[in-house]
Structure 1
């Protein structure tokens, strides 16, 4: 079988696509299979046949420079026939029908499983853009907050994942020493200043807040009638 680049005939199977450049207009368009595409003399195939992106359930991917869509979800085309793009923006896409990348769109993050957070764990998140979440709470760029497990974290473009943290397990006669990373109110409702350290003596599991840093786990000194501690000032 002759090469498609030589014959100019491309057999595009279902769920495959081409990017075709019209060299007269300098505009690149999308051609979707199934079809037999015959390239004209003034056309050049820039990409493909390329397989469409398939996102299974409980997975996602990130598209950079996504195409602009109208209120009905249709891609917007400018007067020259070129797809309009949201340059330097990203679009997080979840499980859906297979779809192609329009000219100018790029796959910034490959298809990835959603992150499952176990009990007594949390994700430390940082807002990279101002936004209002689904509960109506407003966040400013730079704010840090937690997503608590158990649960599946659904990413959004306004939020970056800093790290996953685990609860500290405290046994009897143990405490966790905490340090405030900025001015905050702790779980007991006490105002803390940046850099301030204090002890939390809660028995069981303790999950630090977004602006709390675990310094160490300390053990209590057991004093008897024959044992004492000398405290230094």
Structure 2
């Protein structure tokens, strides 16, 4: 039975991945900060799908948390989903530098270190996958969040090219607005976001697994967000900034 480790596994996209992978027969290693919530999620998944669900309480913005998850990955998993992340309610100049550095550690250092810890086992087996959750915001210049997610995309594409010959796949997943706890936790007002731009978390996980199986290196769920990402990639910077302002943070 294959094993998947998911960070940020108790809510939103991470929880959707846990449900999808459990339904596919994966044993799970669930990683998040809240041990009680982890235990509840693991119990529910085991009861519904009959799979083993290991819990690992870890704060990936701290060295001890990162080291603990690196150690578990070193013992081998078949799929890693780097999903943990957060947002800021204010702009760059309104956010304490310490909070920005915490974001960079979680979105960039943790993704790098956990991917690096997972790959040797996968390469040794000649198969495996890493899904690094970025965002369609990666294609628009909107503060440290967007910049960190742009790094995730670039890093994932580079890693995918390096390990592709070993039978291992690395993919950046770039969803748009998803119905999760993310915006509420960040105290970001999303009341003005049009309903058609919202995606269900289950749809995002399903699209991601389909694209990973196809060898896609940058997965953008839904046609509407493929168009939005294309705008971010190819239109002049002045127009891109205008689109970013209209879409919000």
State the TM bucket, normalised to the shorter chain.
Answer: under 0.3
Query: TM-score, normalized by length of structure 1?
Result: 0.20
* Relative contact order, higher structure (CA 8 A, sep 6+): 2
